[in-house]
Amino acid sequence: MNHYETVFILNPVLSDEQIKETVKKYEDFLVSNGAKMVSKEDWGLKKLAYAIQHKKSGFYHLFEFQAPGEVINPLEVEFRREERMMRYLTVRLDKHAIAWAEKRRNRNKEKA
């Protein structure tokens, strides 16, 4: 099982309920396909560097998970089909990135 991190941007016109529903949908998709969720982060509404689909902001979310490599392609197909999704990026983490992500999670816990 590889360690992955996915960041995705949701449309800014969505209600809180629609955002939670969409995030839950993809979390359930990953878990049902054999992934183990390591962490989830809601980064909130952020301004974009450039307009995407004529929008200047979006709701950012981060998933960190462990999953077999076969899960990533179906996940990204689902992302492409989703109208609420503006952009996404999935990367496989190496040992240095895993250590950095762990440090970031601990730092965020201390702030909260």
**pLDDT tens-place string over residues 27-40:** 999 999 999 999 99
Rounded to the nearest 5°, which phi and psi values hold at 103? -60, -40
Phi-psi region of 45 (alpha: psi -120 to 50; beta: other; left: phi over 0): beta
pTM of the model: 0.90
In order of 3, 33, 87, 93, the CA distances from 71 in angstroms are 12, 7, 18, 15
**Is 90 exceeded by the pLDDT of residue 12?**
yes
C-alpha–C-alpha distance, residues 24 and 30, integer Å: 10
Instruction: Please state the CATH superfamily assignment of the domain spanning residues 1-109 in this structure.
Output: Ribosomal protein S6/Translation elongation factor EF1B (3.30.70.60)
Which DSSP letter does residue 97 get?
H
Q: What's the pLDDT score for residue 13?
A: 94
Q: What's the pLDDT score for residue 111?
A: 77
For residues 6 and 90, the answer to whether their CB atoms sit within 8 Å is yes
Do β-strands 55-67 and 2-10 pair in parallel, antiparallel, or remain unpaired? antiparallel
3-state secondary structure of 64: strand
Residues 81-112 have pLDDT tens digits of 999 999 999 999 999 999 999 999 898 888 76
Which DSSP letter does residue 24 get?
H
